[in-house]
Amino acid sequence: MILDEILKRTKKRVARLPASFPETTDRPRAGLAAAIRNRNGKNAIIAEIKCSSPSRGIIRRNVDMAMMAGVLERGGCTALSVLTEPYFFGGSLHDIGRVKTAVNLPVLRKDFIIDERQIAESCALGADAVLLIAAVLGDNLASFIDSALETGLEPLVEVHTASEAEAVLSTRAPLVGINNRNLTTLAIDRSTTRVLSEQIRRGGRLVVSESGMRSADDIREMRQYCDAFLIGSSIMSHNQPAKKLEEFVCA
């Protein structure tokens, strides 16, 4: 399975991490949840700067991270997601800093977090939020959420099943991402958001629908089930990313 391969590579990366990172808890951070709530009547879109993926291959070549961040900010996104996984998604740790110097938006570090040192690393890199995947962390999910919050990062916790959603609701996570992509098969089914969103909203959490949004019609169909959308490939593969983003924001 592709997830197993990604995690195998991630473990090798993590093995090289130092024991600690410089403390940066006094740095003011842009709030992801607050940005989603204050969307001023438009659709809250977390635009993902994504160069490649296992399902799509190369999405966009030679991306200037700072320039793209500025383009997407002008396109009206609520926040930016930056992939830092290098082998399967073409990301780099340095991309967080490049994006943060270009915009004032909240920046989510999206990677495969399996070690609490990666949370400290995310903070040191300048991220405002960090993705935590329930299927990857299992019984360790709550402690990773607590660690992120104590470090000053907002955790966006990704779920795909009802049992994962239930597990998240017993934690302090303020944001729950529902991934419409099955991590095992890579197939997309937007009904995953429809099925799980009510359960999560009853728990008082913000819902972010992830994957599978290709048009304004998709946004209009799905926005009753969530508070925000995380969209990468549809924006980054378009010849005018800001125009495509505006389509989603104003749908």
Residue 140 bears catalytic tag = no
Residue in 50, 122, 154, 244 annotated catalytic: 50
Catalytic residue among 110, 122, 164, 244: 110
Six-digit token pair at 36?
A: 């989603």
Q: With contact defined as beta carbons under 8 Å apart, do 1 and 185 qualify? A: no
* Angle CA 75–81–84, to nearest 5: 135
Choose the catalytic residue: 73, 85, 154, 158.
158
Among this protein's residues, is 246 annotated catalytic? no
Query: Residue 207 phi/psi, 5° resolution?
Result: -110, 130
- Rounded to whole angstroms, the Cα distance separating 68 from 4 reads 31
In angstroms, the CA 187 to CA 24 distance is: 39
Candidate list 43, 48, 100, 209, residue with the active-site label: 48
Q: How far apart are CA 116 and CA 228, in angstroms?
A: 27
Residue 48: active-site member? yes
Cα 107 from Cα 100, distance rounded (Å): 7
Q: Answer yes or no: 210 catalytic.
A: yes
Catalytic position from the list 43, 211, 233, 234 = 211
Per the CB < 8 A criterion, the answer to whether 196 and 225 are in contact is no
Active site (annotated) includes residue 121: no
Nearest to 158 by CA among 180, 188, 191: 180
Among 73, 154, 210, 247, the active-site one is: 210
Q: CB-hemisphere CA count at 13 Å for 107?
A: 31
Exactly one of 179, 180, 197, 234 is catalytic; name it.
Answer: 179
| CA nearest to 137, candidates 109, 110, 168 | 168
Catalytic residues: 48, 50, 110, 158, 179, 210-211
